[in-house]
Structure 1
Amino acid sequence: MSDKKFHIQKEPFVISTDDGKYIGEHFGNASDGNSEISIAHMVAPAHWSEPFQTPEFDEYTFIFEGKKQFLIDEEKIILEAGQSIKIAAGTRVQYSNPFNKPCTYISICKPAFDFNKVNREE
């Protein structure tokens, strides 16, 4: 980033996935080297899921369209458009979209998302 007092992100860093999920990081480790916070536009396709993980960062999620399911310590939580959640660092969680429509949301991680600190289960 430059020394300007603002930066408009027009071209987020798109992270490749093999599960059909879209991740466009606007700010964070991958896009601008910011390790303190990351902000990403996400689209989870219908019937998508990923393994349980225990991240070393707080993650905030705001749902714009569709629904997203969270399994947090075996408790099932379903968020719909207009709802948000904060999941504290060190919490075991599984993210999924078992529904018939894609889910569009924003994810904010603090400190920034880091693949080495996600701790995904195999």
Structure 2
Amino acid sequence: MKKYTLQKEPFVVPTTDGKLIEEHHGTVATNNHAISIAHMVAPPGWSEPFQTPEFEEYTYIISGKKQFIIEGETLILEAGQSIKIEANTRVQYSNPFELPCEYLAICKPAFDFQKVHREEV
């Protein structure tokens, strides 16, 4: 039995907002419910509704900038910066800037649409 899982073909999550989501490890890509790791590119002008996920989310910015509104506080992260957002925290993610934002997102336990609790817009 191999003691590693090499991921060469991540699962590309279908989106309607122009955002690229490539899940390398997680519930869908590798049946791993403990953690998910995704490569993402958010286009200029992209945003999501507020959400209060039941999982921790770590974000590492590769290039560009990403805006976070966390419990009413607005933060902007740039390339080389990272953040950990605790589970059960109200947050909104967006890219109101002119360039795409490329980043890695790690969720623990793994991202789950049933546990993200996005608000209606």
The TM-score bracket by the shorter chain reads: over 0.9
Consecutive unaligned residues in structure 2, runs of 5 or more: none
- 1:6 to partner: Cα distance: 1.3
Per the alignment, in what secondary structure is the counterpart of residue 31 of structure 1? helix
Of the candidates 113, 116, 121, which is equivalent to residue 114 of structure 2? 116
Counterparts of 1:21-60 in structure 2, within 5 Å, are 21-60=19-58
Counterpart code for 1:115 = F
- The equivalent of 1:96 in structure 2 is 94
The two structures have a TM-score, normalised by structure 1, of: 0.97
- 1:56 to partner: Cα distance: 0.2
Per the alignment, in what secondary structure is the counterpart of residue 109 of structure 1? strand
Per the alignment, in what secondary structure is the counterpart of residue 71 of structure 1? strand
- 1:8 to partner: Cα distance: 1.5
Per the alignment, in what secondary structure is the counterpart of residue 98 of structure 2? coil
- Per-residue Cα deviation, 1:51-110 (whole angstroms, up to 9, x for no partner): 000000000000000000000011100000000000000000000000000000000000
Task: Count matched residues.
Answer: 120
Consecutive unaligned residues in structure 1, runs of 5 or more: none
Per the alignment, in what secondary structure is the counterpart of residue 97 of structure 2? coil
Whole-angstrom distance in 2 between the partners of 1:100 and 1:4:
44
The two structures have a TM-score, normalised by structure 2, of: 0.98
Whole-angstrom distance in 1 between the partners of 2:2 and 2:23:
20
Q: CA RMSD in A?
A: 0.5
Identical-residue share of aligned pairs (%): 69
- The equivalent of 1:74 in structure 2 is 72
Which contiguous aligned blocks of 4+ residues in structure 1 show a shift greater than 4 angstroms? none
